[in-house]
Chain A
Amino acid sequence: MVLLLQVKAFFSHKRKKLLKDNLAGYLFISPWIIGFLAFMAYPMILSLYYSLTNYNLFSPPVWIGLQNYIEIIKNDPKFLNSLKVTLMYVAASIPLRLVFALVLALLFYKASKMIDFYRAVYYIPSILGGSVAIAVIWRELFGYYGALNNILMASGLMEQRFSWIGNPNTALLTLIALAVWQFGSPMIIFLAGLKAIPVSLYESASIDGAGWWHKFYRITLPMLTPVIFFNLIMQIIRLFLIFTRAYIITGGGPMSKTEVYALYLFREGIRYHRFGYASALGWILLIVIAIITFIIFKTSNRWVYYETKGEL
């Protein structure tokens, strides 16, 4: 179809104009094309090729077909562990994060000087939280001599110091806590979503004698589902790639209980120079994320409410 149009355009008197437009168009988007080809498309093709080879720092790639993938799926307990840890991290962080974000967006819905201040206070952790500094602080906060232990002991809730980061049962919790602490971005997106709900809906519900729960459940929540849906997808992808904070706070330990996927991939690829194997790990990650996103997209028809069908 596109081809046909092009052929038609070729013979039309508009051809000169079209050529000029095409030239200008590609000239303007050329920065993206260069960046895309050099730093995305080409590395991805390379990665796909490497994933089908046995390749390390000292010898050139040797074609081994799907062997890396088979090895990973069939007998790599570390892969399974890292996938499990990452899934646990994502599955625990996202609902908490989104619930906090939604509740506070509801509380901070009506703007005033004081509310503006509160919004800022609750948003700051999300702004500063991505930095190495916060990861470093987090490690000390939950450390053996850290503030949390001091508070718990002073208030009599705990009798002995406890290493939250050193204990296999609690290490992942410290990372989840950090993720939940930063609910600022989804909160802001929810706030914008709340503003977009027409007031008339609430007014007519009030006339019908609806209470706040009824209004929330019947109006706010359904109207927000597109925003929730969007937040869900973006948060999953972002949280799946957790690296820096895990690297700094727990380093993957103790007993690999916090060895998240990106950390495992990093160790295999960069530290042990198993380039082929790590490339295959990368593609498996892509597939896992794609499947999860696909499932959410598929179920979205059932729970996401679109005012005008088909238009987001």
Chain B
Amino acid sequence: MNLSISARNRKRLGGIVFHTIVFFFGVIMLYPLLWMVIGSFKSSGNALTSTLIPDYFNFGNYADGWRGFGGDETFARYFRNSFVISSISTLGQVSLAAITAYGFARIKFTGNKICFSIMVITLLLPAQILRIPQYIMFNQIGWMDTYLPIILPGFFPLPFFIFLIVQFIRGIPKELDEAARIDGCGYFGIFFRILLPNLKPVLITGTIFSFYWSWNEFMTPLLYLQTPAKYPVSVALHLFSDPGTITNWSAMFAMSTLSIIPLFLIFLFFQKYLVEGVVTSGMKG
């Protein structure tokens, strides 16, 4: 009897220690984020202090930040640009990747395996090697200062997304296809009527990742866009926070906070799908 009580106490003590440590490190993990969000409310002079208790709630920082870095454009424009870029590339990416994945996963054609191997190898190809030739290419076509070089390479299906969806399709029983075929469905019928409704979870995962990556994309807009009115949030935020010119730190914190709200919402509502994507591409390789 005595023994079991002490064992229970020990377990409880272990639990307390565990939660204390994990909580403490959790605060450290979240500190930079909290510091940013809370800094966006502090008065400008105190923005960089380490405290997580704001001296007062100053929503004016958001209004100040929203006006941007001089000129006519406000952050409304940059947010709109980002949404346009991310939506178009995500739409293309996910639908075209699904179509391609169906071809790879379900149709036996000559060269399927070879093409699939090439695609998987390019999954490991460092994008850096493509930067210079793409830059010259797009320059020669006359696409500078347009969205085409930013959207198009992410519009056509990338290996990551094809692979993700192929893995998912392989988990759907082939009998469904066969039954539909007997009922007279062709490849298109099978894809649109049978497979597509079943692909919903992986399409959500794909949408999240594609949107997330294009939202964060920094290098390509930096390379190709010259007109400030065309900037997405990522580049605008970089210019806005230029250490040489910035005066209102709280406003910079405010715009930084706003810029990651879409990502945070994705995390909040679609965490399950995010995890699914990370695990599928990570485990079933």
Contact = CB atoms under 8 A, between A and B. Distances in A.
A137 B22 CA distance: 24
Nearest to B106: A28
Interface stretch (A68-76, A91-99, A203-211, A226-234): A226-234
A278 B134 CA distance: 12
Contact of B35 (A31, A123, A137, A189): A137
Interface string B27-46: 00111110110000000000
A167 interface: no
Interface stretch (B69-77, B170-178, B235-243): B235-243
Interface in B85-117: 96-97, 99-100, 102-104, 107-112, 115
Interface stretch (A19-27, A215-223, A299-307): A19-27
A237 B35 CA distance: 31
Interface stretch (B3-11, B54-62, B199-207, B251-259): B251-259
Contact of A132 (B125, B137, B187, B216): B216
Nearest to A46: B133
A147 B283 contact: no
Given A241-B128, A279-B132, A120 B271 contact: yes
Q: Which size bracket describes the interface of A in this complex?
A: 35 or more
The B interface is mostly helix, strand or loop, or mixed, namely: helix
B22 to A, nearest CB: 6
A312 B285 contact: yes
Interface in A123-152: 123-125, 127-128, 130-134, 136-141, 143, 145-148, 150-151
In the complex, which of the residues B128, B137, B155, B259 has the most CB atoms of chain A within 10 Å of its own CB atom? B128
A118 interface: yes
A185 B278 contact: yes
B282 interface: yes
Contact of B132 (A6, A125, A269): A269
A243 B187 CA distance: 43
B152 interface: yes
A79 interface: no
Contact of A114 (B19, B253, B271): B19
Interface string A280-309: 001101100100010000000000000000
Contacts of A283: 129
Nearest to B107: A25
Interface string A166-194: 00000000000000010001001100110
A77 interface: no
A208 B33 CA distance: 47
A278 B216 CA distance: 25
B32 A244 contact: no
Contacts of B278: 185, 188-189
B157 A35 contact: yes
A286 B130 CA distance: 11
B216 A29 contact: no
A109 interface: no
Interface in A261-277: 261-262, 265-266, 269-270, 275
A118 B26 contact: yes
Interface of A: 2, 6, 18, 21-22, 24-36, 38-40, 42-44, 46-47, 50, 107, 114, 118, 120-125, 127-128, 130-134, 136-141, 143, 145-148, 150-151, 154, 181, 185, 188-189, 192-193, 196, 227, 230-231, 233-234, 237, 240-241, 243-244, 247-248, 261-262, 265-266, 269-270, 275, 278-279, 282-283, 285-286, 289, 293, 312
Interface of B: 18-19, 22, 26, 29-33, 35-36, 48-50, 96-97, 99-100, 102-104, 107-112, 115, 118-119, 122, 124-137, 152-153, 155-158, 162, 187, 191, 212, 215-216, 218-219, 223, 233-235, 237-238, 241, 243, 249, 252-253, 255-257, 259-260, 263-264, 266-267, 271, 274-275, 278-279, 282-283, 285
26 contacts: A21-B108, A25-B108, A28-B99, A32-B96, A32-B157, A36-B119, A36-B122, A39-B130, A40-B122, A40-B125, A46-B133, A131-B234, A133-B255, A133-B259, A136-B256, A138-B32, A147-B48, A150-B49, A154-B50, A189-B283, A233-B124, A237-B124, A241-B127, A262-B128, A286-B126, A289-B126
